[in-house]
Structure 1
Amino acid sequence: MKAHTGDSEPPVGEGGPRRGGLTTGEVARRLGVAPTTVRTWDRRYGLGPDAHTEGSHRRWTTVDVARLERMCALTATGLPPAEAARLARTEECPTAAGPERPDAARRVSAGRRSRGASGLQMGDVRRECRGIARAALRLDAAALDELLLAAIAEHGLVAAWTEVIVPTLQAVGRKWETSGEKYVEVEHFLSWHVSGALRRAAPRTVEDRPGATTVLACVPGENHTLPLEVLSAALAERGVPVRMFGGALPVESLVAAVRRTGPAAVGLWAQSRNTASRPLAQHVAAMEWGVRGARRRPVVLTLGPGWAGRAVAGLARPSGLAEAVAAVESSVYP
C-alpha cells in the first residue's frame, strides 16, 4: 500500500525517478518536509519546478531538488522563509549577494556551515532515512509523523523498522555521542514520534486466545521500550495476542503477569549487560501452569544487546526483529 502524496500519478520505485523527475511526495520524503510545505514554497516563493508535464503534474528535476535543499539549509539557520527562498533561487548565493549585501553572504555561509555541522553520517541507507533525519533535526513534528507513517505503509512494520527507522536512530545517536550531547533533544523527539507512529500504524489489539498470548517486558532497571513496541506492533499485525508491560517491570510484577496470562512466549528486553539477568530469565522459563499432567512452560526470548555474552542455555536469543517475530510465531503456532 502506497502512502498518498497528493500527486495523481503513482510514485517511482527504488530504481530511480521516472523520465520527467520526482513527484512532490517523493521530494518531500527526501527533504524531510511535508508535501504541503513543498507546495507552499512553490506557490508563495516561486520555488516550484522549472517545467510541468502534461496535465500540469509537478515533476522535480535534480536542479529543482537542489534548490529546495538550499531552502531547507537556509531556514534551518534561522533565516526568514522569504529571504531564504530569494537566496535559494540563486545558483551561487554568496556571489549573488554581492558586496552591497555582505550580511546575506555571511548568513548563507553560516547556513552552509550549520548544515555541515548538523549533518548526520547516514552511510548507504534508504532515501527515507535522510528525510526522516532532516525532519528530526528541525524538530518538525508534522513532517516527521507523515514520513514515518509513509515508510511503514510503504515497507511494512518489520522492513520499515529494520531498514529505515533503526539506521536513522543510530545516526542520531552517533551525532549525540560525538557532539557533546547537543542533540539529545533530537534523539528524544525522534523516539517519541517513532513510538506514536507504531501505535497508529499497528492494528487493533488482538483478543487473548488460551495458550497463544505473548508477554513483552523490559527487565528491571531497563527503560528502552521502543524495540519492544515495534515487536508488539509486528505481532499484532500477524494476529498474535500480546500483553505489553513496558519499561523496568519489577521481578514480582513480571512473575505475577506470567502466572496470570499463561503465555506461550515471554520476551525480556535488556539494552545493557548490567540489566540482563540470567537468573530472572531462567526463573521465568521454569514457571509452569495448566492442569496436572499437561503443564506448560513459556518459550523465553532474551532480546536486546544486553544479552550479548550473557546467553542463557536453552533460551532463544533472536538477533533482530524478523527473527523475534518468527520465534514467537513458532511458539504460538508450533
Structure 2
Amino acid sequence: MDPTADGAEHLPGSDDTALTTGAVARRLGVSPTTLRSWDRRYGIGPQVRGTGRHRRWSPRDVAVLENMCRLTSQGVPPAEAARAARAGADGAPAPERPATSGSRAAGALPLGDVRQECRGLARAAVRLDAPAVEDLLTAAVEEHGLVVAWQEVMVPTLHAVGRKWASSGDRYVEVEHLLSWHVSTALRRCTRPAVPYGGLAPGPVLLACVPGEQHTLPLEALHAVLCQLGVPVRMFGAAVPAEALTAAVRRLGPSAVVLWAQARSGASPALARHVAGAEWGMKGARRQPQVVLGGPGWAGRSAPGMLRPPSLQEALRLLAGTGVSPGPGPV
C-alpha cells in the first residue's frame, strides 16, 4: 500500500476515497482496536466491506466516526454516542453537549498551534482510550525520535490537559492521570539498561526532584535520553530528602546533580547550595558536583554558580557533552 499525500493508506483496487482502518485511526486519533470494537458493539463500521476481512471507510463512514469521537470526548456514553452519530449521518441533527460558560465544548482541550499528533493524542486521552494513547505515543517516538516526541507531542498535550484540569475544578483529573501514566510507560520503554559506572571520572549524573515535588515526567524524559546516549545516570525520582541526596552525592561522586522543581515553593536556592557543597574524595583533592536546575519553579531564583538549561537539548549538551539532533529518528 502506498501512502497518500495526507498520510492515509488506500486499499489496492478500491475507490480512491475509501480508507483503511489504520489510516482512519491515525486521522482521528484512535486505535484500530477501538474502531473494530465500535463496529462490533455499536454498528459504527464501514458500509462497504472489501475482499476478505478488509474494511473500507468511505467519507460518510469517517463522518460518522468523527461524530462518535466528538460526542465521546464530551462525556456522552459510547452506546448513546453511537446512536446519535448514526442518526446524524441519516439526516437527523446529532445532539450537542453544552459548552462550559464562556468557553469551548466541555471535552475540548486548549491546544493552540501544535503538531497534529497532539490533537489526536488529546482526543484519545479525553476519551480515556488507553490503547489509542499507547499507539499514538509509540508512533510519535518512532517517527520523530524521543527528544522531539517529548517536546513537541507529549509536553504540549500534558500542558493542555493540565490547563483544562485547573480551569474545571476537579474534572479531568482522570484524563491527566491516564495520560501521565502512558507517557511514563512510553519513556521507560525507550530507556536502555543502566550504564555501569566503574568509579572513574566523570561520575554519573544524578536526577532528583526537590523535597515535596512529585512531578517526575521531565526527569524521566531526561533519564531515557541520557541512557540512550550511554551516559551513566542514577534516577532518584520524586521528593528526595535533602540529606538523602547529599549522602548519595558523597557515595557516588557524580559529575552533575539535576534538581527538578515544578513549583516555585519547592525551588530553594539554599537547598541547591547545600547539595552543591557536598564533597567526596581524598583529603586535599576533594570534589563537588555541578548542580543543574530544572523546571519552572526555578524561574527568577538566584543561584550563582549553578546551571539552568532552557531546553532538553541544552541539558543534554551540558550533561552528555554532545549535541543532539532534534530531527526524526531515534535519539
CA distance in 2 between counterparts of 1:295 and 1:252 reads 19
1:41-93 Cα shifts (integer Å, max 9, x gaps):
457736338697x9997675665433211122344544554x64454345556
**Is 2:148 the partner of 1:151?**
no
CA distance in 2 between counterparts of 1:79 and 1:222 reads 36
Give, in angstroms, the shift of residue 311 of structure 1.
3.3
5+ unaligned residues in a row in structure 2: which ranges? 11-15, 323-331
Indicate the residue corresponding to 2:308 in structure 1: 317
Partner SS state of residue 120, structure 1: coil
Indicate the residue corresponding to 1:116 in structure 2: 105
Give, in angstroms, the shift of residue 208 of structure 1.
2.0
Structure 1 58/232 Cα, relative in aligned 2: closer, same or farther at 3 Å?
Answer: same
Structure 1 80/302 Cα, relative in aligned 2: closer, same or farther at 3 Å?
Answer: closer
The residue type paired with residue 67 of structure 1 is: V
1:189-240 Cα shifts (integer Å, max 9, x gaps):
2112211221122222222243331100011121211111111111111111
CA distance in 1 between counterparts of 2:270 and 2:291 reads 12
Give, in angstroms, the shift of residue 165 of structure 1.
0.6
The residue type paired with residue 153 of structure 2 is: V
Indicate the residue corresponding to 1:6 in structure 2: none
The residue type paired with residue 45 of structure 2 is: L
Q: How does 1:284-303 map to 2 (within 5 A)?
A: 284-292=275-283, 294-303=285-294
Structure 1 328/49 Cα, relative in aligned 2: closer, same or farther at 3 Å?
Answer: farther
Contact 2:204 / 2:255 at 8 angstroms: preserved in 1?
A: yes
Give, in angstroms, the shift of residue 12 of structure 1.
6.1
The residue type paired with residue 36 of structure 1 is: T
Partner SS state of residue 274, structure 1: helix
Give, in angstroms, the shift of residue 273 of structure 1.
1.6
**More helix, by proportion:** 1
The residue type paired with residue 196 of structure 1 is: T
Larger mean Cα displacement after TM superposition, 244-253 or 58-67: 58-67
Contact 2:124 / 2:133 at 8 angstroms: preserved in 1?
A: yes
Structure 1 67/299 Cα, relative in aligned 2: closer, same or farther at 3 Å?
Answer: same
Indicate the residue corresponding to 1:244 in structure 2: 235
Structure 1 184/42 Cα, relative in aligned 2: closer, same or farther at 3 Å?
Answer: closer
Given candidates 62, 65, 88, the residue that maps to 2:62 is 65
Structure 1 56/280 Cα, relative in aligned 2: closer, same or farther at 3 Å?
Answer: same
**Is 2:222 the partner of 1:228?**
no
CA distance in 2 between counterparts of 1:50 and 1:167 reads 38
1:264-296 Cα shifts (integer Å, max 9, x gaps):
111000112211111221232233323455543
1:86-106 Cα shifts (integer Å, max 9, x gaps):
54345556x43xxxxxxxx6x
CA distance in 2 between counterparts of 1:92 and 1:63 reads 7
**Is 2:163 the partner of 1:174?**
yes
5+ unaligned residues in a row in structure 1: which ranges? 1-8, 97-104
CA distance in 2 between counterparts of 1:232 and 1:27 reads 34
Contact 1:206 / 1:239 at 8 angstroms: preserved in 2?
A: yes
Contact 2:118 / 2:154 at 8 angstroms: preserved in 1?
A: yes
Indicate the residue corresponding to 1:276 in structure 2: 267
**Is 2:148 the partner of 1:162?**
no
The residue type paired with residue 147 of structure 1 is: L
1:236-261 Cα shifts (integer Å, max 9, x gaps):
11111211111111111010111111
The residue type paired with residue 30 of structure 2 is: V
CA distance in 2 between counterparts of 1:189 and 1:78 reads 19
TM-score scaled by length of structure 2 = 0.81
CA distance in 1 between counterparts of 2:260 and 2:57 reads 44
Given candidates 181, 184, 198, the residue that maps to 1:192 is 181
Partner SS state of residue 211, structure 2: coil
The residue type paired with residue 250 of structure 1 is: P
The residue type paired with residue 330 of structure 1 is: G
Partner SS state of residue 69, structure 1: helix
The residue type paired with residue 27 of structure 1 is: V
The residue type paired with residue 85 of structure 2 is: A
Given candidates 102, 117, 134, the residue that maps to 1:128 is 117
CA distance in 2 between counterparts of 1:121 and 1:50 reads 36
Contact 2:210 / 2:267 at 8 angstroms: preserved in 1?
A: yes
CA distance in 2 between counterparts of 1:253 and 1:157 reads 31
1:309-330 Cα shifts (integer Å, max 9, x gaps):
0031121101122221221112
CA distance in 1 between counterparts of 2:305 and 2:3 reads 47
The residue type paired with residue 69 of structure 1 is: E
Indicate the residue corresponding to 2:32 in structure 1: 35
Partner SS state of residue 116, structure 1: coil
Give, in angstroms, the shift of residue 156 of structure 1.
1.6
Partner SS state of residue 109, structure 1: coil
Task: Report % sequence identity.
Answer: 57
Structure 1 55/295 Cα, relative in aligned 2: closer, same or farther at 3 Å?
Answer: farther
Contact 1:176 / 1:182 at 8 angstroms: preserved in 2?
A: yes
Structure 1 55/278 Cα, relative in aligned 2: closer, same or farther at 3 Å?
Answer: same
Give, in angstroms, the shift of residue 162 of structure 1.
0.3
Contact 1:137 / 1:186 at 8 angstroms: preserved in 2?
A: yes
Indicate the residue corresponding to 1:4 in structure 2: none
